Structure 1
């Protein structure tokens, strides 16, 4: 079966930055997702369209089709008081935050006595993403999976 809208796809992948360093990989645990429901970054999902089990796909996803361009406006200084209850703030820590655009994950870039600099950009924003993907399995999604838009949510609902 070819990868198409509403198919459940299982892949193994290695993601490298432009420097060749491994950024992420499936590490023996394949990733399964519902194709055509925005469960992967758009550029990777487009690259997998039409492929079948056993296919190896090498693709470079640009920032526009990945996590977007780096946006300096998402770097802000906030009062240390915003982290009430967290005793040891460290660079690299991530937190869920409320913003005008809704919930987002921010990462601490700098810790001062009064202010903390946080970055709301995805850690891979502004970067080309170089994937090598092996398609392990493709099957038609169930009606529950299609209705939920995600195989994990459909499986969770089945177990309730």
Structure 2
């Protein structure tokens, strides 16, 4: 079956940075599985490259920041007083906070702690980076009516209710 709208697609992938350093990959027994066709289960530029592919086909896509995790936004870096944080914080930890403007929950990574101040960064760790996504298509099947209605894959390697 060719990949088309409302197909469930299983992928083995590797993602690299601009220096060709491996950043992420699937495990052999745990493919990435998503619902194809604009359901936001995968980067749109990768989804476009997968359109019409079949099991065993390969893709190699270079993504600019806007195609992946967006440009780095310096306004998402904040310096806060340390006393508003839990005592056991450390550099590298990720915290959730409500965005006062949108009401959305944002993730912030602690990047520095010094002199009673904490630097938090709301950018995705890969924001501003060019990435390369290399994948091999595994199983391709038609999605169930329930998967289409819910906008995501159910079952093995998918969403469980």
The alignment yields a C-alpha RMSD, in angstroms, of 1.7
Equivalence for 2:130: 128
**Distance in structure 1 (CA, Å) of the matches to 2:150 and 2:66:** 27
Native 8 Å contact 1:4 1:35 kept in 2: yes
**Distance in structure 1 (CA, Å) of the matches to 2:78 and 2:106:** 13
Equivalence for 2:60: 58
Deviation at 1:89, TM superposition (A): 1.7
Look up the SS of the partner of 2:46 in the other structure: helix
Deviation at 1:63, TM superposition (A): 0.8
Native 8 Å contact 1:41 1:67 kept in 2: no
**Distance in structure 1 (CA, Å) of the matches to 2:44 and 2:79:** 31
Deviation at 1:41, TM superposition (A): 1.8
CA deviations over 1:13-69 (Å, ceiling 9, x no partner): 011101111000002121111112001122222221111110011111111111111
Aligned residue pairs: how many? 155
Native 8 Å contact 1:106 1:121 kept in 2: yes
Native 8 Å contact 1:43 1:62 kept in 2: no
Deviation at 1:155, TM superposition (A): 4.9
Higher helix share: 1
Equivalence for 2:151: 149
TM-score by length of 1: 0.89
Equivalence for 1:92: 92
Q: Structure 1 stretches of 5 or more lacking a match?
A: none
Q: Where has structure 1 moved over 6 Å in runs of 4 or more?
A: none
Equivalence for 2:19: 19
